[in-house]
Structure 1
């Protein structure tokens, strides 16, 4: 029994054991172990000759395709033929097969690039099992004899990796910044759990603004890695690495847990509560049962599902549609809303949306590039928003940086906005450090959760061809349309299209009142200094944006007849036709219908169209 412990099957002597350890049985080249046993002798010989050694990392491109197309036997022949070519072109060096279709050559740095070119020429004139293959080469020239050979090999691999997906480039040369990137990548991978344990991950919150009120209606959670050793590591650097290494699920679950903890903290310091969205990647969904894990966290911290939103990127829907659809259903079963993130960044398709039950579509900031008011981009955006709303899906645009962008998208009916125009991401600790006035103002600028459904209904209100009164006989985009809110005896115009504004402006040409009157409102100047200041503030913003007076929020006191109509109309239903005369005696015709009711504020929203 004791003797059998030292028995090695099919190896009868020490020479055969050395052969297995030192040489690859398919190609006859050195194994990785064998390479490192010989490397120092070769390095000494090259440096003694006053030359520099070069490490060449070789990769056969598309080996999986070769195996699938021609079979594994042909694939093995390709690997063997490349091994023979390397030995033929670099006879004075040492060659090793590292793994699968990867090779390593150590040779004196003399005419290396020219000899690499010979490999392709030799292959093309000989009959090999596959008509044509491509190889990529990464080069690292060792400068000092005491450099670690394993690090030198890594640098050659990095040089090849840099050009691996670049068409028409076959040789990559190492640059020192490549190794720094490689080291930071390794740091991210190996220090993830430590960073979570040491509280180095901090959550920043970026506000999402309701476009008709300019109040905060939700927050997006963004993570910053404040490393004690590396300083601040931004998501754009560490998120792709964690996703590729299938570690992002650990990180994102930690983010969810921190968000749920901080929802409770927000209550303690007097901040208004709004839903918080957290981003999940396809890697998260494929690695863990995120629905079950997040459901457990909600129970653990006693947070209602309505305060959490999940964002899933558009590319995940393309890469694994069945998984994404299943996850959406799972979150909905737990009462958690799900948004599509980065719409317009990849293979966007409105047809694709019918396969996914998203609650909201978030337009990527790239979707806004080249936007021109009144041009093709506006038309595309208008009809995209219209079709998304017809699917009963809400909309948010991110990357809003100018007042002009905000005003244009509000005009088109985009319900939410996010961008540096409004706020920059902030951590919760900044609110802990704030005074009571700041907290009070923050609550004033935040939407009340009791009004959330009201504004959701308002945002979804749209006129379509199918429901228009036949008397109009024109296309929806040419119909003067506005959404108004009736509250505490006054009317606020929440949104209007250009046709509505132009009609209103024309009605005002023969009147002397200061303000805007769509024909059945009466405005008698400012009722307070605050109203005057607000009006002046809007004017300055519009002038700055180059919009002048074209897109505004207007408030009026209705006439007595229309006040009664607005008070009595309390059921949703078909259009109600009305007619009246404005102050100059000119008759006008319009239609009105109830869109939504906010019981908490005693507010009603009506949609108006004018003939």
Structure 2
């Protein structure tokens, strides 16, 4: 007989004595015990309802250990949905035969509690949940202890800001493979020692083989997480030399009035921990930052079309100066997004997102459209014009004929092709050689100049220059920072080499006269 069937049976007048589980029925308003069946009496070693009332005080929560009463009352009274039953596990205030706690399902309809005894052995592997290796509680016990602290904090006149952290010992599996289980165990014990050092007195749990969680109210919890990683890295050099280990971590802030599932907080912290991108020196993330980043990413993906049509995406014209004369010889058109909803978005925030979602071509054509419109306006007014370049991403060429789309746009404004220069990054040329080589040749056939952007930023600059017929290369000065005598010689060599093969050069990121 399923629990749901039993609930229906009780609420339809089915005798609770005929139900093969311990059933306690209580008032929903006062939680006063109204009925108990023979199984419940037997479970608690009682002969009658009067004797049962003596040991419980006649109150549903009176069957629970005083340490669990407050938490269970809070869970029952704050639960928003109990139609399918609210799961409770608690210690009892009376030593039952072979059991010290119960699993129970509470149904709002009729105030029915189905209680299932948990044996002493199961209890020790359940609510106590102590890990033999690390002596830390497992997840069930941790959740229970966190709930106790949350209730205490909610009812405190001065509630504290709490945090939940999730830790992942990366590359741990390689330790067991290269060394042995004993080495892995030693590393886990050392990890626990480090966590206890930085979070003394806080709730710590081992939730998986090499994953840990901590509940704390320490304002510097994030700094302590980074310090824990540093200590672990040093210890790992001695315990498991040759295997790079890190203690990645994520943290979420716990609202002072939080009344939800603890597992949700763990999930939030785990998401933050998993958001680690492999950046050097980055081992800790705050969930709120990850969430903000996710929301911004979602906004960018969902609103790019609207931003283009409403004119939020505009062109910033960066001048190109000829070094010998100091005269203006061109512009580069760069995309800028000023959102009416979330303000200015830097290119570094929206371009990678639109590349990943294969929508960057929309922005690039939008920039080209504005450039063509500007040039057309100057030409119509009889003003002087200089060439303007714009960037194409390698993602632009996937699934569409970009050369054809560019030509259609330029032709619609009747702009001379020599006034439009196309920039393609070195990294794009490296990753999509055959496709981009075909497109570069088509651009040339249509009358456009094609430049290599960010020359020197990759590892195959010379190969790209050898294989692609670029008209000009833009040297990225950032990779030569700081500008030293060696940097000067490298730039001079690049310029001479490019001149020899008939390619023009342009230095990007020049900020000083010396450069």
| Structure-2 residue corresponding to 1:197 | 309
User: Please, what TM-score do these two structures have when normalized by structure 2?
Assistant: 0.52
**Shift of the alpha carbon at 1:148?**
7.8
Secondary structure (helix, strand or coil) at the match of 2:459 reads: coil
Summarize the alignment of residues 86-125 of structure 1 with structure 2, pairs less than 5 Å apart.
none
| RMSD (Å) for aligned C-alpha atoms | 4.9
Query: Following TM superposition, by how much is the alpha carbon of 1:389 offset from its aligned partner in structure 2, in angstroms?
Result: 1.1
Counterpart Cα distance in 2 of 1:393 and 1:250: 30
CA apart distance, 1:192? 1.7
Aligned to 1:382: 492
Offset, 1:198: 1.5
Q: How far apart in 2 are the matches of 1:40 and 1:250?
A: 48
Shift of 1:395: 1.0
What CA distance in whole angstroms lies between the structure 2 residues aligned with 1:300 and 1:222?
21
Show CA shifts across 1:199-258 (max 9, x none).
Answer: 111112122223444333221101221222232222233223322333322221221222
User: Does 1:340 find its partner at 2:452?
Assistant: yes
- In the aligned structure 2, how far is the partner of 1:190 from the partner of 1:342? 30
Tell me, in whole angstroms, the C-alpha distance in 2 between the residues paired with 1:45 and 1:148: 13
Give the counterpart of 1:158 among 260, 272, 282. 272
Structure 1 residue 380, shift from structure 2 partner: 2.8
* In structure 1, distance between residues paired with 2:293 and 2:344: 15
Aligned residue pairs, count: 340
User: 1:581-600, aligned counterparts within 5 Å?
Assistant: none
Displacement after TM superposition at 1:157 (Å): 1.9
Per the alignment, do residues 44 and 300 of structure 1 end up closer, same or farther by CA in structure 2, a change over 3 Å counting?
A: farther
- Does structure 1 conserve the Cα–Cα contact (< 8 Å) formed by 2:275 and 2:290? no
Partner Cα separation in structure 2 for residue 142 and residue 388 of structure 1: 59
Change (3 A) 1:62 1:294: farther
In the alignment, does 2:510 pair up with 1:394? no
Equivalent position of 1:144 in the other structure? 256
1:45: Cα distance to partner? 5.5
Q: Which residue of 1 aligns with 2:401?
A: 289
1:247 equivalent in structure 2 = 359
Kept in 2: contact 1:46–1:53 (CA 8 A): no
Secondary structure at the aligned position of 2:458 is classed as coil
Contact 1:252-1:279 within 8 A present in 2 as well: yes
Q: Indicate the residue corresponding to 2:379 in structure 1.
A: 267
In structure 2, the partner of 1:56 is: 166
Shift of 1:386: 1.3
Q: Once the 2 structures are TM-superposed, how far is the Cα of residue 316 of structure 1 from its aligned partner?
A: 1.9
Give the equivalent residue in structure 2 for 1:47. Answer: 150
For 1:245 and 1:59, how far apart are their aligned partners in 2? 31
For residue 58 of structure 1, report the CA deviation from its aligned partner: 5.3
Correspondence 1:355 to 2:467: yes
Larger relative contact order (C-alpha < 8 A, sep ≥ 6)?
1
Once the two structures are TM-superposed, the CA of residue 179 in structure 1 deviates from its matched residue by: 4.6
Indicate the SS of the match to 1:191. Answer: helix
Greater displacement, 153-162 / 106-115: 106-115
Structure 1 unaligned regions, length at least 5 = 1-14, 16-38, 67-73, 75-84, 97-102, 126-130, 406-611
| Corresponding position of 1:497 | none
The CA distance in 2 between the partners of 1:346 and 1:306, in whole Å, is 28
Instruction: Quickly say closer, same or farther: Cα 1:142–1:364, change in 2 above 3 A.
Output: same
Post-superposition shift, 1:393? 0.7
CA contact (8 A) 1:338 1:360 kept: yes
Shift of residue 383, structure 1, vs aligned partner: 2.5
Give SS of 1:354's match: helix
Please tell me whether the aligned partners of residues 57 and 138 of structure 1 are also in contact (alpha carbons under 8 angstroms).
yes
SS of match in other structure, 1:203: strand
Report the equivalent of 2:319.
Answer: 207
Alpha-carbon separation, structure 2, partners of 1:42 and 1:295: 67
- Structure 1-normalised TM-score? 0.45
Choose the corresponding residue for 1:186, options 280, 298, 303: 298
Indicate the residue corresponding to 1:236 in structure 2: 348
Which deviations, in whole Å up to 9, do the C-alpha atoms of 1:43-64 show, x marking residues without a partner?
Answer: 756523659573637597699x
The alpha carbon displacement at 1:339 in A equals 0.2
Which runs of 5 or more structure 2 residues have no equivalent in the other structure? Answer: 1-83, 85-141, 154-159, 178-187, 193-202
In 2: Cα distance, 1:329 partner to 1:380 partner? 29
Instruction: State the secondary structure of the residue aligned to 2:467.
Output: coil
Q: Residues 163, 339 of structure 1: CA spacing in aligned structure 2 closer, same or farther, 3 A cutoff?
A: closer
Deviation digits for residues 159-192 of structure 1 (CA, Å, limit 9, x no counterpart): 442464447x7x6252755554444333333322
Alpha-carbon distance between aligned partners in 2 of 1:154 and 1:292, rounded to the nearest angstrom: 46
